[in-house]
Structure 1
Amino acid sequence: MGTATWGPGASSSIKLFLFMAPLVLVAGLVSVFGPNPSSWLFTAKPSALLFSSVTSSTGSTGAVTTPSEVKQREGLVVVAVDNRAGENVISDDTHFNLSSTPPFSVQAIQTPQQHNRDEETVPQNLGNLSSVNESYVAAERPKLQRKFSILDRTEAGLVKARAAIREARNGNQTQDADYVPIGPMYMNAKAFHRSFLEMEKQLKVYVYEEGEAPVFHNGPCKSIYSMEGNFIHGIEMNEKFRTRDPEKAHVFFLPFSVAMLVQFVYVRDSHDFGPIKKTVTDYVNVIAGRYPYWNRSLGADHFYIACHDWGPETSRSVPNLQDNSIRVLCNANTSEGFKPSKDVSLPEINLQSGSINGLIGGPSASKRPLLAFFAGGLHGPIRPILLEHWENKQEDMQVHRYLPKGVSYYEMLRKSRFCLCPSGYEVASPRVVEAIYTGCVPVLISDHYVPPFSDVLNWKSFSVEVSVEDIPKLKDILLSISPTQYIRMQRRVVQVRRHFEVHSPPKRFDVFHMILHSVWLRRLNFKVHHHHQSQLS
């Protein structure tokens, strides 16, 4: 048997083994005690925004931030989502009428979330509200619990509300002891109901206490502008939605009355809007100087209410009030700058006595002998056309400039199947709500008008829209509606009436709550967040 020898090849193998063994041992130790791969975090590329973002400066004091300053300074970001480009949540795929805009939607949005002062610790299951930079975190480094601000928690609650509303669209009907929205009068009854319940659960409104009566914290309650005073008094007396802590507010209310500005600030027949403009500008400067919230969002989470014709003009006193704030207006005219995705259409309600007593109710559809009714003066460009074609022309078309002496206006409404509601100088008319109160199917004769609460209500199911150019064919249009269809429409008018009723104190689903719900929907559609405290200083 020969003797085994270690030649040059064996010597090379030994050297290779001695070189590799330590490397293998080190690799094994690293795999056991080394960093966890899950500690490597990467920032995901943010999704494209559906609408332009607005960047503003934050600060506890200072005057109104101008757009030019915004471009130069870092601060809060408000992201608004255009509902027309997104998914409809409150509505189905149904669009409501000839001159109306698509229903409002609630669209999910994603933006990097940063911290606010006065931070509070909340559970991590609120969702990934803050972005992270690409970084390596050592395994032995203790994990810090996330901290979120009050504002972060508020926004997280809105995220959950959006999800609940979407889920409700095709879910089971939620039960409610007071009222369950159901039927074709609603764009999507289930989504509306869920949204209303979420509003009741979450919405908080901060009312600025600055300003003195009669212009501030006051408004008419017994006139055609009654919605200004009724809402101002309603929200100031409300304990459910009003919060005294502005940090917890979703929206901020500017409690001035345009009708009172016209009465007490405007110099009659002067044609000078300057005093009103100065009053509003000074007020916004005061609240922007005392609180951080106006400059925090450039006014996007602020709203005011106006039923006077000069409501839109008043907002032009402050550019951000017009461009960013939620304007709750009776004069909801898209040709004059009303934006359905941002602004709210307010019903014009003429309460001569200050209450709805005696105004509600009327006979059934079968007990209304007149086809149509209108009485009103030459006010604006549309009514002269209506009177020219139909004034005193046919017995069943009762169209008058002035009612004959001794004839009751409300009794005529109750005798009529259709009540004509032509616009005056402005698009809104109190005749719409007068018709609804008396169970008469409203006929909207206007251009560029967005009916109240059209985010939720399907106006096509209980009203008729007629363009100005179709006024000569008005009777043919009304007669083309079959008796069966008319009976359905009239019953729906009675069903939606609760949403236009004025109560003191307010009742669920009444006009006060519907106004708040419209504001709530718009607040759901954008997001506000701060930079970190260190960046604010």
Structure 2
Amino acid sequence: MTLHTRREFPTELNEGDPTNQEKKREEVVIKKYNRIEKLEAVLAKARSSIQEAARNKSSISNHEDPDYVPQGPVYRNANAFHRSYLEMERLFKIYVYEEGEPPIFHNGPCRSIYSTEGRFIHEMEKGKFYRTKDPDEALVYFLPFSVVVMVQYLYEPGSHNMNAIGRTVSDYIDTVSGKYPFWNRTLGADHFMLSCHDWGPYSTSYVPQLYNNSIRVLCNANTSEGFNPLKDVSLPEINLKTGELTGLLGGSSPSQRSILAFFAGHLHGDIRYLLLQQWKEKDQDVQVYEEVPANVSYESMLKKSKFCLCPSGYEVASPRVVEAIYAECVPVLISDGYVPPMSDVLNWETFSVFVEVKDIPNIKKILMGISQEHYLRMYERVKQVQRHFVINGPPKRFDLFHMIIHSIWLRRLNMRIHD
């Protein structure tokens, strides 16, 4: 449906007619100012549709879908989420700036704990989903730089000096803001960057408008370090050692999960220090290691544990959250200030356990206090939300790529642009 139609002028007027020239100039002005108005009108209708869907308190979406119908308490509002997702698929367009040379721009690693950064950049570059080549019809603008690659090429190990990375980000913003009108029009509010590196948030501080206004999609979603859930997006950290999901999905049935809780990881920050100090190799129910025992597979331990402990390291993000979901092990989040991914859609309290740092000594008591019936419900819900954290090649509807896009879409919906 066209919400605003372009003003038409009589076609019979001659090109040399001064009246016609004046009217054509007027039409150009109207086009310029109506372009944003039209985009905002389309978004306003989408907001209204989603708000109407939100008033339906049913636990199952009433929208037909051949692939998946969201339902159940894992969603804050299944109907509103589904309506929003469908509107995103119909309307969302992203412009990817083409300035910059690979590998620092338009490239990223697709393995290791930074795989989500590289995979997202790669998919946006391919342009099969949401990307538009016309910046005038875009709703958001992607800044395709990879902090991971910047660290690899620009950082001098041991120097503790990030100025080269910060200057590169700043220079890139100067380039695109000087060439296009879009950054200056909103002071960067409808632009987004994405980084899974620990230094991602800090690298944005070199451009105050990027830090304060833009949508920052970050694995290190730490509110104590400036992460703003109202405009920023929490990005799952996923450790794809081979670049593939082979062997990572699935686990033992609940009756075959003999370990109450499991964690293995090196001393990495204050929270892990407290966890290891309290539980390291001290209890057969709460099995905590710096390294898994010889001849024992880390993945097999995840798959036969009921609960998987996910403490923050030096940064709040940890690949263990998604590792637990892949292994169908209920995540136990232990952190200060971490905003879990997709929190505006997913109700994490229904499929995970939150433990405050001060309660680390009480982990066993807390987990033993969860009834078998409640645990089984959480187990089934972990299996349900797994689809939203899976990386597919190519992406499939409702998977991680699309859910990241949806989180960005929600932030754009919360924004109103005036020219």
State the TM-score, normalizing by the size of structure 1. 0.71
Q: In structure 2, which of residues 212, 222, 234 is the aligned counterpart of residue 345 of structure 1?
A: 234
Q: In structure 2, which of residues 38, 41, 50 is the aligned counterpart of residue 153 of structure 1?
A: 38
- Measured against aligned partners, the alpha-carbon deviations of 1:100-155 in whole angstroms (never above 9, x if no partner) come to xxxxxxxxxxxxxxxxxxx96179xxxxxxxxxxxxxxxxxxxxx99962221111
2:53 matched to which residue of 1? 168
Q: Distance in 2 between matches of 1:390 and 1:214?
A: 43
Q: Distance in 2 between matches of 1:229 and 1:120?
A: 40
2:188 matched to which residue of 1? 299
State the TM-score, normalizing by the size of structure 2. 0.91
What SS does the corresponding residue of 1:353 show, helix, strand or coil? Answer: coil
1:219 matched to which residue of 2? 108
Higher relative helix content: 2
Larger Rg: 1
What SS does the corresponding residue of 1:305 show, helix, strand or coil? Answer: strand
- Measured against aligned partners, the alpha-carbon deviations of 1:354-375 in whole angstroms (never above 9, x if no partner) come to 1112111112222201100000
Return the offset for 1:317: 1.1
Q: Distance in 2 between matches of 1:503 and 1:235?
A: 14
User: Aligned pair 1:177/2:66, yes or no?
Assistant: yes
Runs of 4+ residues deviating >2 angstroms: 145-148
1:366 matched to which residue of 2? 255
- Measured against aligned partners, the alpha-carbon deviations of 1:143-193 in whole angstroms (never above 9, x if no partner) come to xx9996222111111001100001112346111100011000000010000
Gaps of 5+ in 2: 9-29
Higher RCO (Cα < 8 Å, 6 or more apart) = 1
2:92 matched to which residue of 1? 203
1:96 matched to which residue of 2? none
1:455 matched to which residue of 2? 344
2:364 matched to which residue of 1? 475
Q: Distance in 2 between matches of 1:319 and 1:146?
A: 32
User: Aligned pair 1:417/2:302, yes or no?
Assistant: no
Moved more, 187-196 or 236-245: 236-245
- Measured against aligned partners, the alpha-carbon deviations of 1:500-531 in whole angstroms (never above 9, x if no partner) come to 0001111100000010000000000111121x
2:246 matched to which residue of 1? 357
Paired residues of 1:120 and 1:148 also in contact (CA < 8 A):
no
* AA aligned opposite 2:331: P
- Measured against aligned partners, the alpha-carbon deviations of 1:452-506 in whole angstroms (never above 9, x if no partner) come to 0001000000000001000000000001100000000000000000000001111
- Measured against aligned partners, the alpha-carbon deviations of 1:344-392 in whole angstroms (never above 9, x if no partner) come to 0000000111111211111222220110000011001111111111111
2:410 matched to which residue of 1? 521
Paired residues of 1:328 and 1:345 also in contact (CA < 8 A):
yes
Q: In structure 2, which of residues 383, 401, 414 is the aligned counterpart of residue 494 of structure 1?
A: 383
* AA aligned opposite 2:128: E
* AA aligned opposite 1:218: N
* AA aligned opposite 2:114: Y
Sort the Cα spacing of 1:147 and 1:264 in 2 relative to 1 into closer, same or farther, 3 A. Answer: closer
Paired residues of 1:120 and 1:149 also in contact (CA < 8 A):
no
Sort the Cα spacing of 1:460 and 1:245 in 2 relative to 1 into closer, same or farther, 3 A. Answer: same
Q: Distance in 2 between matches of 1:509 and 1:363?
A: 25
Return the offset for 1:294: 0.5
Q: In structure 2, which of residues 270, 288, 295 is the aligned counterpart of residue 399 of structure 1?
A: 288
What SS does the corresponding residue of 1:526 show, helix, strand or coil? Answer: coil
Q: Distance in 2 between matches of 1:258 and 1:415?
A: 36
User: Aligned pair 1:231/2:231, yes or no?
Assistant: no
Q: Distance in 1 between matches of 2:302 and 2:197?
A: 25
User: Aligned pair 1:512/2:379, yes or no?
Assistant: no
Paired residues of 1:187 and 1:455 also in contact (CA < 8 A):
yes
Return the offset for 1:239: 2.6
1:273 matched to which residue of 2? 162
Q: Distance in 1 between matches of 2:31 and 2:299?
A: 62
What SS does the corresponding residue of 1:314 show, helix, strand or coil? Answer: helix
Paired residues of 1:168 and 1:191 also in contact (CA < 8 A):
yes
1:381 matched to which residue of 2? 270
What SS does the corresponding residue of 1:252 show, helix, strand or coil? Answer: strand
User: Aligned pair 1:309/2:198, yes or no?
Assistant: yes
- Aligned residue pairs: how many? 391
Q: Distance in 2 between matches of 1:392 and 1:273?
A: 38
Q: Distance in 2 between matches of 1:382 and 1:522?
A: 31
What SS does the corresponding residue of 1:260 show, helix, strand or coil? Answer: helix
* AA aligned opposite 2:178: G
* AA aligned opposite 2:136: E
Q: Distance in 2 between matches of 1:400 and 1:122?
A: 69
Q: Distance in 1 between matches of 2:335 and 2:161?
A: 29
- Measured against aligned partners, the alpha-carbon deviations of 1:304-349 in whole angstroms (never above 9, x if no partner) come to 0000000100100100000000000000000110000010000000
